[in-house]
Amino acid sequence: MRKRRKLILAVLAIVLCILIVLPLMAAVFRAHAVTQQEINELKDKAKELADRQQEITDKLNAISDEQDAVTARQALLDERINTTYEQIEIYNAQAAALDSRIAYQERELEKREEEEADQMALFRRRVRAIEESGTISYFSILFDAASFADLLSRIDDINEIMSYNEYVVKGLKDAQAATQLAREELAATRAEVDEARAQEEEKKHELDIQLAEMQTLMITLEEQREEYQLTYEENEKLEEELTEKITELQKEYEKQLEEERKRREEEERRRQQQGGSGSGSGSSGGGTVSTGTYIWPVNDSRRCVTSPFGWRVHPVYGTRRFHNGIDIGTWYGCAIYAADSGTVTTSEYDSSYGNYVMISHGNGRYTLYAHMSSRAVSVGQTVTQGQTIGYVGSTGTSTGNHCHFETWVNGSRVDPLGYFSTYWRYWD
């Protein structure tokens, strides 16, 4: 009977130990919804962008002659705006990751508080039991032993009682410590979220100032037409050179497609001469599969066209000139889609077009997207209709956020609005 009682007490002590240790082990080995490494990587990226931002600002401050360095200044402003936009995205991602951690830590704190409440209830029951049994005199228990063997047994019983009491007290202390640690971790994470959100708001304010600065530069160009006539002529020359470059690029790309078609036909002819049973003739599309139709290239259901295809008064230089595409007005950072499936033939920065992308859709059809804040595709990449290829901005020669969209057929630009039936004529 006594051995059985000792066994029960021993098992109870072991179970109590497990109840105490498991929460601590869970606190150490639990899998965070978001790891600290991910948070650190975002912080490192934010610091890298901040350093780059400072470097760009230093370069801007070094430019004193705005008239002679307007193109360089414009490119630097473009880069600084894009960097600030990236910083906003990083801080937003950092805050979102921390929000995920907070949700996890709130659940953990709730568990720790429940465990602490359980340990407190156990402690109170133990204290109540001691009070109900009266003050225990361990000496009287020992002196009442009938024999030496009985004395040893009583000593064991006293040790078990004292050990159990110690386990109860230790369990309560550990549970309280775990709860306090969970509270501190949650408070620290909330502080990090507040800091990330504050930095995000600060960068949004900086972005507004930088966009206003770019707008001021463009207005200055418009107000000082004669002073910037040389810049205008140089820009016009650059646009002509860009058009020639695009035309040559189209010819080279079509030539490559034709060579590929002939190569495949020759391979098929040889296969047939050798008795092969190959099927099909060489593809003339170079692996590009297009739908033959265009979708609206901007993720904005308003379809607001601020400037049409054709002759117009240039919004920056104030001279009458031909507009090679349409301008779609929308917000900064709005996604730009591939109007049709195809292959990216150009993805680069130009002082006139800013960040721009050109896509070949086969059969002499191309589309061009300009003034992007950033590009999301590279040369040679195959894209599908509706795939994001970049984001709306105001890089290059531009007075505000919009997407300049061109459609080319057999080396010549055509009116993009001929492919669409619904849009808002904002220029009227």
- Model confidence over 249-278: pLDDT tens digits? 777 777 777 787 788 888 887 777 776 544
- Tokens 């640690």 sit on residue: 181
Give long-range contacts, CB 8 A cutoff, 24+ apart: 220-227: 220/66, 221/70, 221/316, 221/317, 222/315, 222/316, 222/317, 222/318, 222/399, 225/317, 225/318, 225/319, 227/67
CATH of 289-425, one of 3.30.1050.10, 3.30.1240.10, 2.70.70.10, 3.60.15.10: 2.70.70.10
Name the H helices within 63-147.
70-132, 138-143
- Model confidence over 85-122: pLDDT tens digits? 888 888 888 888 888 888 888 888 888 888 888 877 77
3-state secondary structure of 28: helix
Residue 104: closest CA among 176, 27, 41, 44:
27
Instruction: State residue 232's pLDDT score.
Output: 53
CA gap 322, 415 in Å, rounded: 12
Q: Is 329 exposed, middle or buried (0-12, 13-18, 19+ CB in 10 A)?
A: buried
Instruction: State residue 426's pLDDT score.
Output: 84
Instruction: State residue 199's pLDDT score.
Output: 87
Q: What percent of the chain has pLDDT over 70?
A: 62
- Model confidence over 275-288: pLDDT tens digits? 654 444 433 344 55
Q: Looking at the structure, give the CATH architecture of the domain made up of residues 2-221.
A: Orthogonal Bundle (1.10)
CA gap 304, 403 in Å, rounded: 10
Q: Tell me which of 393 and 41 has the higher pLDDT.
A: 393
CA gap 318, 218 in Å, rounded: 11
Residue 406: closest CA among 273, 251, 254, 247:
247
Query: Residues spanned by CATH 2.70.70.10 within the chain?
Result: 289-425
Query: Residues spanned by CATH 1.10.287 within the chain?
Result: 2-221
- Beta pairing class for 402-409 and 388-392: unpaired
CA gap 294, 254 in Å, rounded: 20
- Model confidence over 360-374: pLDDT tens digits? 998 889 999 999 999
**9 band by pLDDT with thresholds 50, 70 and 90:** very low
What integer best gives the mean pLDDT of the chain?
A: 75
